Amino acid sequence: MRVGVIGGANPDEFGAHIADALRQLGHAVTPVANAFPRGMMSRPLLLARAALPTLDERAQDRIFRILADTDCEVVINIDLRIAPGIVAKLRARGMRVAFWFPDALVNIGRQYMLLAPYNAVFLKDRHMVARMGAFSLTPIYYLPEACNPLIHRAVGPAATDPYLVIAGSMYPSRVRLLERLAAKGIPMAIYGGAFPRWIGPTPLMALHRGRPVFGAEKAAVFRSAAAVLNTLHPAEVEGMNARLFEATGSGAAVLSEFRPALPELFVPDEEVLAFRDFDELVSQAERLLADHALAARLGDAATARAHRDHTYERRVAAILGKLT
């Protein structure tokens, strides 16, 4: 079957992992990278697009043409900016179209997925499924994120570096939490883009490695850390983020902020450790830093579970099962 994937086609992005999984399942893939060319994101055009929403559909007609020209039978879209009219054109052409939203509630934007005639919508947070599904005519399903075993896999010995690794963007709730943790003497290494200037000075800048990590390097950094610290945005209501699956798939010991979905996905204290408040975070971090064997045992158990139950192949198969 030929399947189109809209969004995030660069290596180590969500769409690229979906495309990898589809190929592993034996499907042909047509990737379409972005809803808009870079020039469409300039401030004057953003203002024009807000005033004239039909501009979005015109700009995105190239997406329809690409998918139609390659005779796609199914389309998986992960870009919430795709105009409802484009989805309608894909459906009229006979394609079955799904939307999979891989982000937190705060980033839901215009809720285009409720205006577009999708065959199915998939959300990673049961809270969003319940609230949006109560009024939607489109079937909405719960589907967590996943790992890509082609990239997220354990290489080398576990827990050889005596610090916690944090990877990702910096925002105030994460910054304040990490500042408190650093003040407790917990050693950390932070990877990601530069701190936003509006956050202001913070001692965390001294812990920043000055760059993000991707792909195989990210997996190696995760595997060798005493633990990967997974703090969550406050808008992650009940679901978990991509970092959980990347890190567990890479064989890391993961210390994650608790959400209701966590014990459904991994066994607490056997495959991951969790924290609900700051004191529990400090206690769990100290355990992992002091016990190399515990960290290695958690990492090995986590990667076995992630590669068995939480791969993109399993998630994509679930999507296709709802569409075919």
> pLDDT at residue 82 above 90?
yes
Domain spans of the chain? Answer: 2-143, 161-309
The CA–CA distances, whole Å, from 191 to 47, 205, 217, 309 equal: 34, 10, 11, 28
CA 101/CA 111 separation, integer angstroms: 11
Confidence (pTM): 0.92
> pLDDT at residue 40 above 60?
no
> pLDDT at residue 38 above 90?
no
DSSP character at residue 250: T
Which one is the CATH code of 2-143: 3.30.70.20, 3.40.50.2300, 3.30.565.10, 3.40.50.2000? 3.40.50.2000
Between 2-11, 183-192, 294-303, the lowest mean confidence (pLDDT) is in 2-11
Q: What is the pLDDT at residue 37?
A: 55
Per-residue exposure over 178-187, b if at least 16 CB sit within 10 Å of its own CB, e if not: beebbeeebe
DSSP character at residue 257: E
> pLDDT at residue 52 above 60?
no
CA 239/CA 189 separation, integer angstroms: 25
CA 285/CA 258 separation, integer angstroms: 14
Q: What is the pLDDT at residue 135?
A: 86
CA 83/CA 288 separation, integer angstroms: 47
Q: What would the mean pLDDT of 89-116 be, rounded to a whole number?
A: 93
Q: What is the pLDDT at residue 49?
A: 54
The three-state DSSP-derived secondary structure of 59-119 is HCHHHHHHHHHCCCCEEEECCCCCCHHHHHHHHHCCCEEEEEECCCHHHCCCCHHHHCCCC
Q: What would the mean pLDDT of 17-26 be, rounded to a whole number?
A: 98
Model confidence pLDDT, tens digit, residues 116-175: 999 999 999 999 999 998 888 899 999 999 999 999 999 999 999 999 999 999 999 999
CA 182/CA 294 separation, integer angstroms: 22
Name the helix (H) or strand (E) containing 282: helix 278-290
Half-sphere exposure of 197 (CA within 13 A, CB side): 0
Q: What would the mean pLDDT of 285-309 be, rounded to a whole number?
A: 97
Q: What is the pLDDT at residue 45?
A: 54
The answer to whether domain 2-143 and domain 161-309 are alike in fold is yes
Between 10-14, 247-251, 303-307, 318-322, the lowest mean confidence (pLDDT) is in 10-14
Greater confidence (36 vs 315) lies with 315
CA 324/CA 322 separation, integer angstroms: 6
CA 31/CA 23 separation, integer angstroms: 12
Tokens of 305: 């579970």
**Domain range 161-309, CATH class:** alpha beta
> pLDDT at residue 42 above 60?
no
Q: What is the pLDDT at residue 198?
A: 96
Task: Identify any residues that bridge with 225 across adjacent strands, giving them in sequence order.
Answer: 161
Q: What is the pLDDT at residue 305?
A: 98
For 319, list phi and psi in degrees, rounded to 5: -60, -50
The CA–CA distances, whole Å, from 36 to 12, 70, 218 equal: 20, 20, 28
Tokens of 322: 């709802």
Rounded to the nearest 10°, the torsion over CA 192, 285, 147, 127 is -90
What share of the chain has pLDDT > 70, as a percent?
A: 94
Cβ(17)–Cβ(87) under 8 Å? no
> pLDDT at residue 294 above 50?
yes
DSSP character at residue 53: T
Average of per-residue pLDDT values in the chain: 93
Model confidence pLDDT, tens digit, residues 193-225: 999 999 999 999 999 999 999 999 999 999 999
CA 310/CA 305 separation, integer angstroms: 7
> pLDDT at residue 9 above 90?
no
For 4, list phi and psi in degrees, rounded to 5: -90, 140
Between 19-28, 36-45, 259-268, the lowest mean confidence (pLDDT) is in 36-45
CA 169/CA 165 separation, integer angstroms: 13
For 282, list phi and psi in degrees, rounded to 5: -60, -45
For 81, list phi and psi in degrees, rounded to 5: -90, -5
Q: What is the pLDDT at residue 247?
A: 98
Residue in the block written with tokens 């947070």: 125
Q: What is the pLDDT at residue 39?
A: 47
Q: What would the mean pLDDT of 77-106 be, rounded to a whole number?
A: 95
CA 305/CA 266 separation, integer angstroms: 7
Amino acid, res. 91: R
